[in-house]
Every structure is written in structure tokens, then in C-alpha cells.
Structure 1
């Protein structure tokens, strides 16, 4: 009422009636034992007692709003999709780094193929995706580049009279298609020995001695062996990892920047 200059405007601002405002003020004055507002038919103004009461009352209301805000604050959410060929064993540490930066941020992580995640990103089901390079897309930011290799378990031997046994991801998978194209172009005979629903399963099949796989080295245990040169297999390229995001600023962007920096570090190491 003091800021707006009338009971009528105060009632409109608070979504109530002038009578309700007057009744509440009257009860407060009776409780305090003094008049807070001087009323005449022509004007309404704050009294000397009201002026003395106003500032402490404002501080009390601000403290109440801060206390209530602890429970009523809406947490921000960040939905991230990460390609299965990108999300390596360091993912828990990367998530922990994001959480340490902003414990109030709710982080959602979805793991899938690059193609699937890009489709969900385009449907606005995900705020951000971190995926392998996908043909036809130029809207991403290169986070890192990673060398792929042909890996096998220690001591694994290929029988030269048999097709090369390959462990791979289920379709659609860009790395699977790339590996098949390179082997076919080199005129090498190969066969699928294992099809996994994720890189963890493919890595397990490799380390179980079933065959070889085209993977980034960090996706396998340290004792996995790159057998590409030994078997005369075609070279595999360095594939970029790209960040696609609609997040531009605020706490989610800060957390995303921390994730990108940590991911670059993990790929380099």
C-alpha cells in the first residue's frame, strides 16, 4: 500500500479486495497498539509509527521468502545423451565432476547409438548429445578426436584359413559400418562372431577371446592388444567426438563446460 499509494491499487496487485486489505491492516494495528496509516476521505498516508515499523517489516518478509525458497526452488535439469562408443569407463568420474560444480543441478544421462541420440536431440528430448561424427551433420562442436584400432585379448591367435572373427555392435552403428567397409575394401574375409548391445559387451567378448573389434583403446582393459599391424588389417581413422547442444548459458552450461573439459582430458590420457 505504501509503494502504490492506495488500498485499491494494493488490492489489485495482491489479487484481493480493498476490504480484505483494510481488515488485515486493522488487525495488525490492534495487535501493535498504534496506527500505522492515517486515513482521511481525501488521502491515505503512512503514520510516524508506520514509518518506524516499515523497514523491520520488510526485512522480516525478505527473510521469510529466503527461508521458504530453500524448499520451493525449482531444480534445473540437464538431459545429456552420450554415444555408447564415447561413454568410457571414466564416465562416473565425469558425472562426479559435474555434480561437484553444481550439486543442485539434476543430471539425466542417456546412453545409445549416435544416430539414435541425434534423433532424440532433434526432437528436443535431449538438451545435449556427445556423439561420434555423423555424416551430414555440421552443427556440432569438436570435443576431441580419438584413434580407433583393431583390438584382441592377450595371446589371441587368428587361424589364417578362417575368416577374421569380428565382435561388433548391433546395427545401426557408425563404427560397425566403418569397420566393415574398410575390411571389404581391403578384400579381407571376415565374419561376425559376436554382436553386442553395447560397447561393454563387445569389449567383454574381445577379452574372452572370441575375436577382434574396432574400438578406441580406452574402451578396453589396459592389457588388450592392438593386432592391426600384425594381421595386416586396414588402418582405422581418427574419429571426431562432437558436442551438439542447445544450452547457451546459466548453471547447465557451466556444468556442460566442465564435462567437455574433463572428457577432453580423458581422451588425451
Structure 2
């Protein structure tokens, strides 16, 4: 019989560190300090009698014992959540909007992180343009949104900033003397407006060659060889290249990704914190 059971908060801290690869991100997800997370891990390691995490200057790695313990730690937390849900009553609902320019290939992993934070939380995710999602947020149709910084707004929490570039398919050539063919998203897309204004200011003739209903459609047009598009690198399919320097196109700025949230109650607040930390980690990588 185990004389002292494991501290579930410490186990949760270890799982966050392992999944996010960072003490800082784990602290953000738990809405606490890095020192608190480190202390919880230290106590867990002392209780287990082994080192779970190997710390390096740039990142953290699991030890052999940590990798073996991780699966059991997840199972322990899942069993706890199922047991707690028996008496928890009705499931809480959390409606989140994520901009199409933000919801990249990491979205399945981000959703999994939120579910791991609280499997009993009913999460509804809506994908759309930043402008449309902000309007829905202001109408209180969404509890939180993660969007590109919208012109004229300074509220919200900046999660990260992403570099954009002018991307085209490998081998694509701009025909001399013709306007630059640009694939875009429809208005009110802020990236579309920004790209057009920068081209106009630089005196680069351009024309819309394709208007897609989302980043996936715009990326498909780029890879089909229709023209160029202003996109973040992590949103691109394999094989796209940045042709901005070669064509002398204006440099695109780093664009902030902003969280707007009115969620104050736990566990939805904890799920938003976990999503934000996971997103920072994904974009950083």
C-alpha cells in the first residue's frame, strides 16, 4: 500500500512541461509562476525517487524514467477527471473563434491540449476571418477569439507575432511587364488590405488573380501556380518559396496574434490558458 499518494497538481505540472516542452509555457497554461511549476516538479521527482526531466539551456527533455512515467501520468489524470465528472453535473460550454490566418496545422494538437485540460468541457470552435470573429465576440456570441491584430483596436493580449512573406510555387515566374498576380482572401481580411496597401506604396502594379474563402484555398491557388500570396510560413504546404526578395516586393511586417477573452470562471479559463500556452509553443517552434 502506498503511504503517500501522488500530488495530482504536481503530476499535471509534469504533463504540461512534457507536452509544451517548456517550464515557461507550462506556467502560462497553469496561470502560475515558473518557480511554482519547478517546485511541483521537484516534489514529484522526490516522491518518485527519480529525475523526470533533463534541463538544458534551450529546452527540456524527458529522462528515460520521465518518458516511461508520462503515459501513466496521463492515465492517472484521465481517471481522476472521469471520477470527478460523476458528480460534476452538466457540462460547461466554451465557444472559441480562431482566425483562418491563425488556425494552422497545429490546430488538432491545440484542441487535444484543451481536451486534456478538462475532458468534460464542451468546446465549440469557429473558424473565420478576424473581422467577422471580432464582431461575433463583441456581440457576445463567442467567449474568446484568437485573431490577427485588427486595425483600430488595441485591446486583447498579444500571444505572439508572426513573420509574413510573399510565397509562390517552386518554379513560378512572374511575366515581365504584367501586373503581379496576387491570390487573396476576401474583405474584410486585414492581411489582404495590408498586402495591397504595401504594394501600392511601393509602386508595384498588381491584380487579384484568385480570391479564396480561406487560407487553405489561397495556398492551393499558390501551389497551382496562379501567383503569389502574403502568408505566414507555418500556414504553407511543402514546396512554397518566398519570392519577395527576388521580385523586389515590399517587406511584410510581423503581425501580432491577439487573444480576446471574457472568460473568468474555471475550468473554461484554465482551458483558454492551456490553449494560449500551447499556441505560443507551437508558433515558437
> Do the structures match in fold with TM over 0.5?
yes
Counterparts of 1:170 and 1:216 in 2: how far apart (Å)?
17
Do residues 163 (structure 1) and 171 (structure 2) align? no
Residue 96 (structure 2) aligns with: 80
Do residues 189 (structure 1) and 205 (structure 2) align? yes
Aligned residue for 1:193, secondary structure, equals strand
Residue 126 (structure 2) aligns with: 110
Which among 179, 183, 192 is matched to residue 176 of structure 1? 192
TM-fit CA distance, 1:267 = 1.1
Paired residues for 1:31-42 under 5 Å: none
When the two structures are superposed, what TM-score results if normalisation uses the length of structure 2? 0.69
Structure index of larger Rg: 1
Residue 199 (structure 1) aligns with: 215
Aligned residue for 1:184, secondary structure, equals helix
Residue 149 (structure 1) aligns with: 165
TM-fit CA distance, 1:72 = 7.8
Residue 225 (structure 1) aligns with: 241
Q: Which runs of 5+ in 2 are unaligned?
A: 1-82
Question: Residue by residue, what CA displacement relative to the aligned partner does 1:64-108 show, whole Å, maximum 9, x if unpaired?
Answer: xxx9x8388110111000111111111011001111111100000
Counterparts of 2:239 and 2:284 in 1: how far apart (Å)?
18
Aligned residue for 1:75, secondary structure, equals coil
Residue 134 (structure 1) aligns with: 150
Aligned residue for 1:250, secondary structure, equals coil
TM-fit CA distance, 1:249 = 3.5
Which among 112, 126, 132 is matched to residue 96 of structure 1? 112
Residue 32 (structure 1) aligns with: none
Question: Residue by residue, what CA displacement relative to the aligned partner does 1:211-239 show, whole Å, maximum 9, x if unpaired?
Answer: 00000001102321000000000000000
Question: Residue by residue, what CA displacement relative to the aligned partner does 1:25-70 show, whole Å, maximum 9, x if unpaired?
Answer: xxxxxxxxxxxxxxxxxxxxxxxxxxxxxxxxxxxxxxxxxx9x83
When the two structures are superposed, what TM-score results if normalisation uses the length of structure 1? 0.73
Paired residues for 1:18-37 under 5 Å: none
- Is 2:100–2:127's contact at 8 Å kept on the other side of the alignment? yes
Question: Residue by residue, what CA displacement relative to the aligned partner does 1:129-177 show, whole Å, maximum 9, x if unpaired?
Answer: 0000012222200001000100001111111121111000011110000
Aligned residue for 1:130, secondary structure, equals strand
Aligned residue for 2:218, secondary structure, equals helix
Greater shift, 143-152 or 245-254, is seen at: 245-254
- Is 2:114–2:272's contact at 8 Å kept on the other side of the alignment? yes
Counterparts of 1:136 and 1:190 in 2: how far apart (Å)?
26
Q: Which runs of 5+ in 1 are unaligned?
A: 1-66
Do residues 253 (structure 1) and 269 (structure 2) align? yes
RMSD (CA atoms): 1.4
